[in-house]
Amino acid sequence: MSGTFTLVNPATGQPIREIARADEAQTDAAIARAVAAQRSWASLPPVARADALRAFARTVEAHVEELAQLEVLNSGHPIGSARWEASHVAQVLNFYAGAPERLSGQQIPVAGGLDVTFHEPYGVVGIIVPWNFPMTIASWGFAPALAAGNAVVLKPAELTPLTAIRLGELALEAGLPAGLFEVVTGSGSVVGQRFVSHPDVRKVVFTGSTSVGVEVAAGCARELKPVTLELGGKSANIVFADADLEKAAASAPGAVFDNAGQDCCARSRILVEHSAYDRFLELLEPAVKAWRVGDPGDERTDMGPLISASHRSTVEGFLDGADVAFRGSAPDGDGFWFAPAVVLADRGDRIAREEVFGPVVAVLPFDDEADAVRLANDTIYGLAGSIWTENLGRAVRVSRGVKSGVLSVNSHSSVRYWTPFGGMKASGLGRELGPDAAEHFTETKNVFFATD
């Protein structure tokens, strides 16, 4: 059903503007435009596609501040984070601009002829983006997809479409062909579902909840359509007694409270070795209380509001009956504010097993290395995690033992556009990013030339 929906500034609770909600016919029209544009785009010499992506990157770079301010307004991201996110889009485009000239096939030895492979673009790729990181997650899909010779139809989340809309406009300003990068705003049940069911959308990339991801995967399976899924997380931040506890505690708030905890990679479980448990909590409390929550337009702000009133209610529900050790502070009044919270949890507690997607962290003790691995793996998710130890052998053993797609040692940073990213178990299917990401948006064609 077509119509409009109202965007709300999460820092004030006030309406921003009305956005069109596409119906199925409008979605089909966008896909048809993408089909037409893709044919000529794929036929360009690789260097021409590379130049076009670099031009797109330069155009984004020239509009970083504009994009950042839109993200502050629409998503409540702190301005420093929003500027980094906008710059990140340009960096991702520049990185994958090197891919068109490197999508080389293989020559395979055979008798009686020559056997070679080619990387052929799928055609049109449908990308469904969540509301937590609207720009960065979109770029992880559209940059390698375009580099591989595909057209892209992008559906941003209903709550946060403004930067995606602007990126679509900037693509045209940069000289990309009309129809090649279509942005369609609307509901997942209409636009997203049409990406899954439409025969001309030959691959779907979905980032969001595990429950919706299961439905996307099932729909794509019925169409025999490739799909990449980046889903939920309940990542562990494992702190051993031999670690630099001061550094680990100082890093922990950023690991879980960045973007108000609305991050599938958030280290929302801190697992601490028994002998260091009390000392770690002593160090963690001042770090949490120093975490600045406030006006996202203020350069000094570390964390803005949650995305909506309903989401705040969901996050608050995780504190019902919980043993809250201490909290940070947050503004009063309008806006969807929430003070960061540290909860002392037991292993069977809901807060220790389910994704909160908010600024709440559960702290649990463990006995030894084997117990740490068991506890880290005691969840349906397997996306990210951190390991803090001065013992290199332990770092290697634990990183091999924890069932997560991306891990970091003595750091909470594990997502980079030049390295593979993705989850295990209920956290996802397939991999994004890395030097081979453009190949994930192609089909391998094998051709045998007889010479006898």
Provide the b/e sequence for 113-142 (b: ≥16 CB within 10 Å).
Answer: eeeeeebebbbbbbbbbbbbbbbbbbbbbb
Q: Which two tokens stand for residue 140?
A: 């992880």
Q: Phi/psi class of residue 119: alpha, beta or left (left: φ > 0; alpha: ψ in -120 to 50)? A: beta
Write the CB contacts of 387 (distance below 8 Å, at least 6 apart in sequence): 238, 240, 395, 398, 399, 402, 407, 408, 409, 410
264 is catalytic: yes
Give 3-state DSSP helix, strand, coil % of the chain, rounded to 5: 40, 20, 35
What is the distance between the alpha carbons of residues 378 and 393, in angstroms, rounded to a whole number? 23
E strand spans, 359-402: 360-366, 381-382, 385-388
3-state secondary structure of 418: coil
Nearest to 437 by CA among 124, 45, 107, 139: 139
Catalytic residue among 71, 264, 273, 355: 264
Distances (CA, A) of 142 to 34, 79, 125, 209: 13, 24, 8, 20
Write the CB contacts of 133 (distance below 8 Å, at least 6 apart in sequence): 85, 259, 263
Write the CB contacts of 322 (distance below 8 Å, at least 6 apart in sequence): 343, 345, 349, 351
What is the distance between the alpha carbons of residues 338 and 311, in angstroms, rounded to a whole number? 11
Q: Which two tokens stand for residue 2?
A: 């077509």
What is the distance between the alpha carbons of residues 186 and 4, in angstroms, rounded to a whole number? 8
61 is catalytic: no
Catalytic residue among 71, 85, 182, 230: 230
What is the distance between the alpha carbons of residues 159 and 293, in angstroms, rounded to a whole number? 21
Please report the DSSP string for 310-346 in residue order. HHHHHHHHTTTT-EEEEE-----SSS-----EEEE--
3-state secondary structure of 245: helix
Q: Which residues are catalytic?
A: 230, 264
